[in-house]
Chains A and B, each alone.
Chain A
Amino acid sequence: MKHYSALGLLRNALGRNRRWTPAWRSAGPKKSYDAVIVGGGGHGLATAYYLARDHGLRNVAVLEKGWIGGGNTGRNTCIVRSNYLWTEASLLYEKSLKLWEGLSRDLNFNVMFSQRGVYNLGHSLQDLRDIERRVNANRLNGIDAEVVGPAKIKKAIPCINTSPGARYPILGASLQRRGGVARHDAVAWGFARAADALGVDIIEQCEVTGIEVRAGRALGVATTRGAISSERIGVAVAGNAGVLAKMAGLRLPVESHPLQAFVSEPVRPVLNTVVMSGAVHGYISQSDKGELVVGAGIDAYNGYGQRGSFPVIEQAMQAVIELFPAFSRVRMLRLWGGIVDICPDACPIVSKTPVEGLYFNCGWGTGGFKATPGAGWVFAHTLACDRPHELNAPFSLERFSSGALIDEHGAAAVAH
């Protein structure tokens, strides 16, 4: 791997940029690996990176059916925060946020993590109670959080509509200043490049079509590029988790739904932070290039189509205009969808499975981008040690039988 440095950039520029080498090798699959990660999204790539970096496991392959980052990692609205309600969840996300804070340096790849703050708006008295409760819990868990009133919100976000006459007036908000956004594609590329440098094989255009299980043990995978054996298989395929589970004869408490987002044309800077609202369902930020990036709600039905229904977009538009009446004349440039893996309690599964040597990282639903480094970190630990880290122990499959669900619906109704 070529180290990126200011001098290197200059030297390369003078050399007409001809000396750059691939950020990650296009590796062919070997017959066997110590660990195979299925899914070349942020989570899979981060898992491989931490496996190699922290657990010394370098004979590792990441198998991606298309191009890395082409799943939800490449199609999300990039919101990063850790102000979840329950201690179990917020500690996991906070671990991730801490990793985000050093990630560009760790990876020697600028993932453009921008801590511009995240506002979660409240529009009813019950919203305010929930905000108060969550902010207090965050603070006691050592996570930065504050409650702000309409006047302060208006000051920080001049184009927002805080009029008390609005249909759903803004009564207050929680603010996490350390929250923000990151450049989605760069996260996949940065992890890939850093993992590759540690010897991980990143294998694109390689779809896993079967999982070999004998006597309750996972032995390898069948792929469109041949069979690969490995006794440690970590699956991080987000919306496709159910499909992979079926290959191993398992079912999961997860359902796949389309989730849509859209961007506007680039406009001059108007929105310096991230704004989310559960009641007026929408969330919005402005990218470094100037597009307004807006997330809509999920479509109610199961779907693997990476596209959704237009009425959901209409509702998100109405929500944005409620919050920002001046955005009405801004124009939508492009809209797309991703397949999100929804869990009954709006919390993820990072867990061993009934099949030995087979591990699943899924169920992040509409909010797993922010977890990318943290999820990779705990999943790597789980694979390497064959037991969860204490941070992900609560997120096992057992909770669905024991009843120890971690219900983040309230805090995560717009869980991005």
Chain B
Amino acid sequence: MLLIECPWCGPRAETEFSYGGEAGIFRPADPHALSDAEWADYLFYRSNPRGTHRELWNHAQGCRRWFGVERDTVSYRIKRTYCLSGASGGQPDGSAGGLEAGSGKRR
């Protein structure tokens, strides 16, 4: 069972979280400008790497925040977790949509 460090609440058991798949999948600004193939790529195609994976998790039983995790898909080791800013949580960023990053850390 993974131990995931919520950027706000600290390390918590995996069972408190729900998984949100690959991070950095941006919703196209104008979907209608895309070909069917390009739209399919956004919808369904994933990098699914063996190794480091940037992914989204939600602290579902905790603070309900979505955040980013960098995890190795073979060793399952978590390299880091981070607050989100831009679209689809692509870019790790401390600002977290205007919230104080890490204000959630324990005292």
B30 touches A (CB below 8 Å): no
**CB-defined contacts of B1 to chain A, threshold 8 Å:** 309-311
Of A242, A254, A401, which one neighbours B49 at CB under 8 angstroms? A242
Which of A94-102, A104-112, A186-194, A299-307 is near enough to bind chain B?
A: A299-307
Interface string of B22-57 (1 = CB under 8 A from A): 100000000000001101110111111110010100
- Contact yes or no, B74 A400, CB < 8 A: no
Q: Is the CB of A303 within 8 A of B73?
A: yes
- For the complex, give the distance between the alpha carbons of A303 and B50 in Å: 8
- Smallest Cβ distance from A285 to chain B, in angstroms? 27
Whether A214 is near chain B, meaning CB under 8 Å from some CB there, is no
In the assembled complex, which residues on chain B have CB atoms less than 8 Å from the CB atom of A305? 73-76
Tell me if A286 is interfacial: C-beta within 8 Å of chain B.
no
Bound form: Cα–Cα A301–B54 in Å: 11
Closest B-chain residue to A303, C-beta based?
A: B73
Q: A304-B73, A401-B36, A401-B39 are in contact. Are A309 and B2 (CB under 8 A)?
A: yes
Asked if B14 is at the interface (CB within 8 A of a chain A CB), the reply is: yes
Q: Would A251 and B47 be within 8 Å (CB), given that A301-B55, A309-B1, A400-B40 are in contact?
A: yes
Let me know if B49 and A402 touch, CB within 8 A: no
Pairwise interchain contact B48-A254, C-beta atoms closer than 8 A = yes
Query: What are the interface flags for A229-250 relative to B under an 8 Å C-beta threshold, 1 for contact and 0 otherwise?
Result: 0000000000010110010000
Distance between Cα atoms of A246 and B47 in the complex (Å): 8
Query: In angstroms, how far is the closest chain B Cβ from the Cβ of A257?
Result: 10
Chain A residues near B46 (CB-CB < 8 A):
242, 251-255
Interfacial chain B residues near A301, Cβ < 8 Å: 2, 19, 55, 71
Contacts of A253 in B (CB 8 A): 40, 44-46
Residue pair B19, A255 in contact (C-beta under 8 Å): no
CB nearest to A354 among chain B residues: B37
**Interface pair A302/B55, CB less than 8 Å apart:** yes
Q: Tell me whether A176 is interfacial, beta carbon within 8 Å.
A: no
Which chain B residues in 51-105 approach chain A with CB under 8 Å? 53, 55, 71, 73-76
Q: How far is the CA of A246 from the CA of B39 in the complex (A)?
A: 20
Q: Which B residue's beta carbon lies closest to that of A300?
A: B19
CB-contact partner of A304 in B39, B45, B74, under 8 A: B74
Pair B53/A302 contact, Cβ less than 8 Å: yes
Q: How far is the CB of A341 from the nearest CB of chain B, in Å?
A: 9
B48 touches which of A256, A311, A402, A403 (Cβ 8 Å): A256
Q: Does A344 contact B (CB under 8 A)?
A: yes
Whole-angstrom distance from the CB of B23 to the nearest CB of chain A? 11
Closest B residue by C-beta to A399: B40
Nearest CB on B from A239, distance (A): 9
Distance between A251 CB and nearest chain B CB, rounded to angstroms: 4
Q: Report whether B73 and A311 are in contact in the complex, using a CB–CB cutoff of 8 Å.
A: no
Q: How far is the CA of A305 from the CA of B40 in the complex (A)?
A: 28
B10 CB–A CB distance under 8 Å = no
Report B1-30 CB contacts with A as 1/0, cut-off 8 Å: 110000000000011001101100000000
Interface string of A262-282 (1 = CB under 8 A from B): 000000000000000000000
Contacts known (A253-B40, A301-B55); A243 close to B50, Cβ less than 8 A: yes
Q: Which A residues are in CB contact (< 8 Å) with B50? A: 240, 242-243, 256, 304
- Nearest CB in chain B: distance from A101 CB, A: 35
B39 to chain A, nearest CB (A): 7
**Which of B21, B41, B44, B47 has the most A CB atoms < 10 Å from its CB?**
B44
Residue numbers of B with Cβ under 8 A of A are 1-2, 14-15, 18-19, 21-22, 36-37, 39-41, 43-50, 53, 55, 71, 73-76
Show 30 A/B contacts (Cβ-Cβ < 8 Å), sorted by A. Answer: A242-B46, A242-B47, A242-B49, A243-B50, A251-B41, A251-B45, A251-B46, A251-B48, A252-B46, A253-B44, A255-B21, A255-B46, A256-B48, A256-B50, A300-B18, A301-B19, A303-B76, A304-B50, A304-B73, A304-B74, A305-B75, A305-B76, A309-B2, A310-B1, A311-B14, A311-B15, A400-B40, A401-B36, A401-B39, A403-B36
Residues of A within 8 A of B (CB): 240, 242-243, 246, 251-256, 300-305, 309-311, 344, 400-403
Nearest first, the 5 closest Cβ-Cβ pairs linking A and B are A242-B48, A253-B44, A300-B19, A401-B40, A401-B36
